[in-house]
Amino acid sequence: MSEPREIAERLLDAQVEYLLGEVTGDRFAEVVGRDIESVLGVADTLVFREIVDVDQAKQTVRTIVDLIGGSPVIADMVGVFADSIYDNIAENNDYTLGQVVDREPVEALLEKIFAMHQAQERILDRLTESPLVATVAAKFVDKLINDFVAANRERAEKIPGVSSLMSLGQSAANRAKKVADNSFVGDLAGKGALFALKRTNNAIREMLRDAPVHSAAMEFWDLHADEPVSGLREYLTRKDLNELVLLCYEIAVTTREKPYFGLLLDECVEVFFQKYGDYTLAAMLPELGLTGDDIATEILRYGPAVIEGAKRNGVLAGLIRERLAPFYTSEAVLAILAG
């Protein structure tokens, strides 16, 4: 009669062979379908908040954002993706912008932006606090006035005698300009810049509220909607897109490292638990847009190739044997076989 250890080795070989058959070939699809159904049956009895603690979830989310968000793969691929997208856009004449992006959500987005009067008021009010912006506004208004004066001068100079009067006025203006360093004049200039900014802000307010800006924006959209996607490259170069994407990525990465961003993540987890904490694990799948068939399909999409590769080089059999051997060679099993 065989020794207990020899019997144990034969049983181990048989189970390894059996499990290899379960996870390879046609049998694998049956096993996946069976096991997923069993897992979902168990998941339907488990309430989410009873399985996952909110503090653990917060830590997990932070870890995922920290590790994946700053991973070398993403850092290396951001610029490459941008270049690839640009190249595809530049060469693609098969799709129009209107086919890629629906008109209705664009119209709704613009309508919402132009209706956000509180945000507009706040932004314009804060702009008045910036001396540099005030200076820009003053130059903008000054440019409009100068262009208006220049246009009217061309008309006026055609009238006999008016040209001499305008020359005299220009001479006087030049002399006044020389005393601009005077503090009183400088103060007036500063007030003039602030006045120009306020006038500019008022014009912007009136334009956003009264002028048909929304219709004009949609007309601009419609002009491009029927053009090929490749036309978008006329707005920026390949280098521009690459640099913009990298700058946005840098903002995202540096923001991710701030303590406040962690507080926002924690708040998101809290809200998620409030809404879905009482769902069972199985009931959450439809909320995520998934079914058991979807999970099985994805497993079967990648699983067979991975398993066959591991089986082919002997790694899979070795892993199974490594996990089962301690059981078959344990004193309890050997005692049973000896009995």
Tens of pLDDT, residues 205-219: 888 887 788 888 899
pLDDT score recorded for residue 184: 42
CB 110 within 8 A of CB 217: yes
Query: How many CB atoms within 10 Å of residue 289?
Result: 7
Q: Which of 194, 227, 260 is the last residue of a domain?
A: 227
Helices (H), the chain: 4-22, 27-43, 48-51, 54-69, 72-91, 97-100, 103-115, 117-127, 131-156, 162-178, 183-210, 213-225, 238-256, 259-276, 281-287, 292-312, 315-328, 331-338
**Token pair for residue 56?**
């653990």
Q: Same structural domain for residues 156 and 254?
A: no
d(CA 39, CA 35): 6
Q: Are residues 122 and 212 both part of a single domain?
A: yes
pLDDT of residue 157: 59
Cα torsion 268, 272, 273, 274: sign: positive
Residues 166, 265 within the same domain: no
Residue 232, in any domain of the structure: no
Under-50 pLDDT residues of the chain: 1, 162, 168, 176-177, 179-186, 188
Eight-state DSSP code of residue 258: S
For 212, the domain range is 102-227
Q: What's the farthest any 2 CA atoms get from each other in the chain? A: 133
**Of the residues 180, 200, 227, which one is the last residue of a structural domain?**
227
Q: Are residues 218 and 252 in the same domain?
A: no
Residue 47, SS3?
strand
Question: What pLDDT, on a 0 to 100 scale, did the predictor assign at position 1?
Answer: 45
Domain count, the chain: 2
What's the N-to-C CA distance of the chain in angstroms?
12
- The verdict on 175 and 109 lying in the same domain is yes
In a domain, 296, yes or no: yes
Q: Is 96 helix (H, G, I), strand (E, B) or coil?
A: strand
Determine the Cα–Cα distance for residues 177 and 225; give it in Å rounded to an integer. 50
Distance CA 26, CA 149 (A): 86
Same domain as 20, residue 128: no
Looking at the domain assignment, is residue 66 inside a domain? yes
The residues, any chain, with a CB within 8 Å of residue 273's CB and separated by 6 or more, are 48, 49, 54, 57
Residues 114 and 86 in one domain: no
Does 284 lie in the same domain as 210? Answer: no
Burial (CB < 10 A; 0-12, 13-18, 19+), residue 269, is buried
Per-residue pLDDT at 182? 47
In a domain, 153, yes or no: yes
Measured distance CA(36)–CA(130) in Å, rounded = 62
Q: Is 264 helix (H, G, I), strand (E, B) or coil?
A: helix
Does some domain include residue 71?
Answer: yes
48 and 73 share one domain: yes
Query: Measuring CA to CA, how many Å separate 71 from each of 64, 174, 245, 259?
Result: 10, 62, 16, 19
For residue 282, being part of any structural domain is answered with: yes
Instruction: Verify that 114 and 222 share a domain, yes or no.
Output: yes
Q: Do 124 and 180 belong together in one domain?
A: yes
List CB contacts of 336: < 8 A, sequence separation 6 or more. Answer: none
Please tell me the predicted confidence (pLDDT) of residue 186: 47
Return d(Cα 91, Cα 313) in angstroms, integer. 43
Question: pTM higher than 0.95 for the full model?
Answer: no
Token digits of residue 187: 């103060």
Tell me whether residue 307 is in a domain: yes
Domain boundary among 227, 256, 271: 227
Asked if residue 239 is part of any domain, the answer here is no
Same domain? For 212 and 126 the reply is yes
